Amino acid sequence: MSSTPQGTVFERTLRSCVPEVAAEVTVRIRREFPALGGAGHLDAFVEEFIGHFVALLGEPGTSPEEIVRRARAAGAHEAAADRRPDVLPAAVRLGAGIAIARLAEHAERLGVGVEPSTVGRFAQTAFAATDRIAEAVVAGHVRGDGSPLDQPERRRQRLLDLLLGARPTAAEIREAARRAEWRVPRRLAVIVFRQEDSVAPVFPSDALRGLHRDPPCAVVPDPDGPGRRGRLEAALRGRTAVIGPTVAAANAATSLRWADRTLDLARQGRVPHPDGRPIRASDHLTSLLTASGADLVDLVAADRLAPLTRVRSTLRHELEVTLLALFECHFRAVTVAEMLQVHPQTVRYRLRKLEALFGDDLHDPRRQLEMHLLLHARRRNRMLGEFG
């Protein structure tokens, strides 16, 4: 199929339709191939190969190198997940047929006057590309990321799944670790990350890689050991990645759960991701606690902070900011004044107002903790509203 003006117009028009078509194809694949239901890499891979089809319209000579590399990586994911080598190639062929039909329908709906011969040549080229992609998936399944996927690697995958599943017993962990030739560490952390490209981070050799999971993850022994922290940050730099709390091996699922929740907050822009460094879940305890029950936070805040509604709005904001600073500075007026850049006497005046409003609750340790969390959540939500 040589490049034609019609093909170029066809390509430009359909480029914006790729995400919609890919979403439909992915749903259909998961319905027809239940084994792929948990394949975290599937959505991105489907959108990539449909995008490749569309690129061929504008430039038939588009190199297949990138999509072939992606297909091999997808095959490696399938091997790591211990799925049969014929499942994903069959899904690719099904998806290609659906995608070609839907793209042609979109072209007609959008009023692109394309001759039947152009559509026919496109279909022929796309099906040829499908063959290359399916073959690359099989090759990736056989050889993983370039080296044979041997039995020890499969055993390490099963060990990882055991650690991250329902709470395993110490005996189960020991036996699975023995089979995988893996020394059970005293402490470990689970790292989760967005798979933004097909090249996985380079983890320490004693890490268990879970690239078949959604989101991809790794179990890393002794993450806080000498030199380990710096190496992990270097391996994860530039990715949206979260390092879960450091726990005992039997509690790996707990580290995964908090890492997952923190990654969700990062995707929503609710925790900072500075300088492309990995996020540590333990640094965002308050955000995690308040986000876990956002509706409850709103209800409790309406009750616990109700006294603030009895003052005018301008003073209310000043008192709210001062109250949070008082909690964070242990009621040291001079320290609060420095933080807020006001005179210490102003802080003392506001403190007297707060004592008049809240009474004994202001110095009750349990109420203080509740109000501190609520004020922190309110400040975070206000910042999200300003910068989200």
Outline where DSSP puts E strands in the chain: 188-193, 208-210, 217-221, 241-243, 279-280
Q: What is the pLDDT of residues 149-170, one digit of tens each?
A: 456 777 888 899 899 987 788 9
Same domain, 275 and 326: no
Residue 373, domain extent: 293-387
Same domain, 326 and 219: no
> Of 235, 268, 290, at which residue does a domain stop?
290
Same domain, 284 and 223: yes
> Of 115, 143, 171, at which residue does a domain stop?
143
Same domain, 48 and 119: yes
* Residue 168 within any structural domain of the chain: no
Same domain, 347 and 361: yes
What count of residues does the chain have? 388
Q: What is the mean pLDDT of residues 261-286?
A: 82
Same domain, 229 and 101: no
* Residue 153 within any structural domain of the chain: no
Range among 1-10, 192-201, 211-220, 330-339 rated most confident: 330-339
pLDDT of residue 20 exceeding 80? yes
Task: Tally the domains of the chain.
Answer: 3
Same domain, 286 and 328: no
Give the pLDDT confidence score for residue 383 in this predicted structure.
Answer: 57
The CATH number covering residue 72 comes to 1.10.490.10
Same domain, 286 and 301: no
Same domain, 239 and 220: yes
Same domain, 283 and 364: no
Q: Report d(CA 216, CA 232) in Å as an integer.
A: 15
* Residue 163 within any structural domain of the chain: no
Question: Rg of the Cα trace of the chain?
Answer: 27
Q: What is the pLDDT of residues 338-373, one digit of tens each?
A: 999 999 999 999 999 999 999 999 999 888 888 888
* Residue 350 within any structural domain of the chain: yes
Q: How far is CA 323 from CA 32, 156, 326, in A?
A: 57, 51, 5
pLDDT of residue 50 exceeding 80? yes
Q: Report d(CA 346, CA 310) in Å as an integer.
A: 20
C-beta separation of 188 from 222 below 8 A = yes
> Of 239, 259, 290, at which residue does a domain stop?
290
Same domain, 275 and 310: no
DSSP lists the bridge partners of residue 208 as 219
pLDDT of residue 68 exceeding 60? yes
* Residue 154 within any structural domain of the chain: no
* Residue 37 within any structural domain of the chain: yes
Same domain, 13 and 102: yes
